[in-house]
């Protein structure tokens, strides 16, 4: 995989982003010349004392794994700025991701956000005339479905059956609007159909469990039933199933995320927090379902 030239840590943040200063332990071996202050920390990573004499490339030490970024509003009030700042940060982490022989096929990129409640209420009302329950009383599954129509219908049928069996009510299915014109041939050849399943978050069968625990069990049962029907997670995959968060991701470059997912372009798509990820695939090949963020986190430790 080929990585693009690195950018400075300061350049990752949008121009409008501000943060309080923080104290960090500085590793002299990693200090760059010509900078007034190096605030990189080795608090959560081991760096050889004699870095220049180690097998680690000094030039590549800062760009040898995935890129992860987080933006949050301390007052937990959803804002559009939270989304735009996080997508700007993602775009500026291109050097922490990679692409293959096709410059327009990335190793994977995406964004995890707190449930955009007002947006989802509006869009489901606009598109299907459906009124969602109050925030917390519904959940959304962001799902990769098979490209082949018959298998896709079979997958939906299994999911709907398990949802009903577990005591949840399916509210609606929604096709996630996308624009794949910027995708390379490799990503296009495996591009899934992406749909959202809206359902009640509280099931009667496991009502003794907390909501997110119920949804976790529901997803695991669905995955088991899909596998029993010969449908694996390369064909049907849950990017997320939650009443609190939702994940938009794919085998994309950082710049393609906003272009590909039209939902992210809408002014009423807002959140109070966002986790972004740009993947550098090392031990595994790039794929749509290996893109991050994952359902609850994003990491950069694969290498």
Is residue 142 within a helix (H) or strand (E), and if so which, with residue range? strand 138-145
Q: Is 30 within 8 Å of 51 (Cβ atoms)?
A: yes
Output the CA–CA distances (angstroms, integers) from residue 167 to 26, 143, 215, 228, 270, in the order listed: 54, 20, 11, 21, 30
Q: Active-site residue 66, yes or no?
A: yes
Place of tokens 């010969």: 230
Active-site option among 66, 82, 99, 239: 66
The token duo for 87 is 């997508």
Q: How far apart are CA 147 and CA 235, in angstroms?
A: 8
* Terminal Cα distance for the chain, rounded: 13
Q: How far apart are CA 85 and CA 284, in angstroms?
A: 30
Q: How many CB atoms lie within 10 A of CB 32?
A: 10
Q: How far apart are CA 233 and CA 230, in angstroms?
A: 10
Q: How many CB atoms lie within 10 A of CB 148?
A: 12
What is the length of the chain?
A: 303
Neighbouring residues of 113: CB distance < 8 A, sequence distance ≥ 6: 83, 86, 245, 246, 248, 271, 273, 274, 275
What b-and-e string marks burial along 194-214, b requiring 16 or more CB atoms within 10 Å of the CB?
Answer: bbbbbbbbbbeebeeeebbeb
Q: Is 279 within 8 Å of 95 (Cβ atoms)?
A: no
**Mind telling me the catalytic residues?**
66
């Amino acid at each position: 995989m080929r990585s693009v030239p690195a950018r400075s840590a300061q350049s990752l943040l949008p121009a409008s982003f501000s943060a309080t200063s923080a104290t960090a332990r500085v590793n002299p071996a990693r200090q760059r010349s010509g900078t007034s202050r190096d605030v990189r920390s080795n608090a959560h990573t081991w760096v050889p004392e004699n870095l220049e004499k180690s097998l680690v490339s000094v030039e590549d030490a800062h760009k040898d794994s995935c890129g992860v970024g987080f933006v949050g509003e301390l007052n937990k009030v959803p804002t559009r700025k939270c989304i735009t700042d996080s997508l700007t940060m993602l775009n500026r982490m291109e050097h922490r991701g990679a692409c293959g022989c096709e410059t327009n096929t990335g190793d994977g990129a995406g964004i995890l956000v707190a449930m955009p409640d007002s947006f989802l209420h509006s869009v489901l009302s606009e598109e299907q005339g459906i009124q969602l329950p109050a925030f917390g009383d519904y959940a959304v599954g962001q799902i990769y479905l098979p490209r082949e129509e018959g298998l896709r219908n079979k997958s939906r049928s299994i999911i709907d059956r398990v949802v009903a069996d577990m005591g949840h009510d399916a509210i609606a299915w929604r096709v996630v609007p996308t624009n794949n014109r910027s995708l390379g041939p490799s990503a296009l050849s495996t591009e899934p159909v992406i749909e959202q399943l809206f359902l009640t978050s509280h099931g009667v069968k496991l009502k003794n469990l907390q909501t997110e625990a119920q949804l976790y069990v529901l997803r695991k049962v669905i995955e088991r039933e899909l596998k029993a029907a010969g449908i694996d997670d390369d064909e049907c995959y849950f990017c997320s199933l939650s009443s609190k968060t939702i994940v938009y991701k794919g085998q994309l470059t950082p710049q393609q995320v906003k272009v590909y997912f039209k939902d992210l372009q809408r002014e009423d798509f807002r959140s109070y927090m966002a986790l972004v990820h740009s993947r550098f695939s090392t031990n595994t090949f790039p794929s749509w379902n290996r893109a991050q963020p994952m359902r609850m986190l994003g990491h950069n430790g694969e290498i």
